Structure 1
Amino acid sequence: MIHMYEDRRNKELRIDCKKCFGLCCVALYFSASEGFPTNKSAGKPCINLQSDFKCSVHKNLRKKGLKGCTAYHCFGAGQKVSQVTYSGYDWRKNPETAKQMFGVFLVMRQLHEMIWYLSEAFNLQTDHHVKENISLILDNTEQLTHLGADSLLELNLEAHRIKVNVLLKDTSEMIRSKAHKRKNTLSANQNTNSHRLDYFGADLRKTNLRGADLRGACLIAANLRGVDLSGADLIGADLRDTDLSGANLTNSIFVTQAQLNTAKGDSNTKLPRILVRPAYWLK
């Protein structure tokens, strides 16, 4: 079963733009100040989206400063909606479905993100009872992704997310506790159990962040060069322009490709096995 969930993350939750109808380029709101081509309202196609749903500037996104585009990750929701929910019928040929399809995409993206985190939690969890509960909600979440468009739009995502978060938090606490036991000496005036949220521009090179609770933390432009983040929970952490050069994220938990795509790193940055080193990182 471990392999099944790992295969799911490697295949179904990987983006495949060739099978998508450019949904992220249409359904989302864009802000030029956040690294997108221009200000764009949700439901309006990006100026660079071509008739075949390909991006006309995809190969030069970073050169053009379009960091928002390179950072976004749909966890495979785009191709799922395009090829499964709508059976390959795109919104251009069927404009009457466009608004609904864009709404479904936003729901599917959240479900796929939950599956990503739950799959990792299942692999990490050692408590049999908790592991069984994770498996049950994982299968339930997967079943939800196969609902029809109308049913997807009627889902109570918030209620489902609450159930998911309980299991993710339980797994996080288990992993971080183990990390603390392996190395419990803290830097002066630093307690990794405390849940500080703002590390904007902070120099954390001498801070012990093993097993740190960095959920939702603002790490924008923070210096983590050479820092060991083993067992640290990075779910929802903002890593824009965070310097991860030489940092060890091998055993960090709940890290996503989208987070890495916004950060800085180099060939010495150690990553979780399932994630890919961004091509623009320093060699």
Structure 2
Amino acid sequence: MGELELLSHHCQHLRLTRIAQRLPTLLEQAAQQELSYSAFLHTLLAEEVASRQEKHQALRVQMARFPFHKTLDAFDWKAQPSIDPKVIKELATMRFVANGANALLLGPPGVGKTHLSVALGLEACRLGLRVMFTTAAALITTLGKALYENRLEERLKLLTQPKLLIIDEIGYIPIDRQGANLFFQLVSRRYERGAILLTSNQSLGAWGDVFGDAVIASAILDRLLHHATTINIKGDSYRLREKRKAGLVRSSVTAHPEL
């Protein structure tokens, strides 16, 4: 067995897969650049560390179950002048997650709330944080099923594990009293311990109708808003704007009432 083949075998045995793949190229580059032993070792280890970080990030993204992948760089800031990019970029530092705080993105459908929530979730994954993405409807269904199967405590523990829980589309579908109580239990479990980022098409004043109970809605908001950044987004839907450009709807049509 030749020296290069033996080195590759050792790398495979130690599960240094990136080094094993890149070893011939890295050896050639080291010879050309006349790298010292320490510099070459640094290059080898940096390759392996980068590879493992990429794999772990990909796994975190997969486990988060985002509906799509869109970044902050892909967001059309000019189309939504009501949003202050500095506030979003501050959220992207994930300091609010470290502090167990929350973020609320409010606005009519189609103004980019889900895009921003996914982009922030992807940034959290990049920074090494565990993230879970769910819609409000799916979350309530999951909690209701767990209650029926006498596994609510188990499910609540699972939902408190991610550093960032993203709940999308609160207000699109009415929540009954049982669902409201289950949602309150989840928010209480994560209060000051795990960050929540949520989006809603309803103003906070309308959450009593969303949850079917003003008292429960008030208790939920009391915990969510204690440490929170609230962003109100105004404007037309991206989809409606594109239809207007295509002449499919008249400009005088109002998509959604303002908050």
The higher relative CO (CA closer than 8 Å, separation ≥ 6) is in 2
If the length of structure 1 is used for normalisation, what is the TM-score? 0.26
Task: Select the structure that is richer in helix.
Answer: 2
If the length of structure 2 is used for normalisation, what is the TM-score? 0.28
Q: Between Structure 1 and Structure 2, whose CA radius of gyration is higher?
A: 2
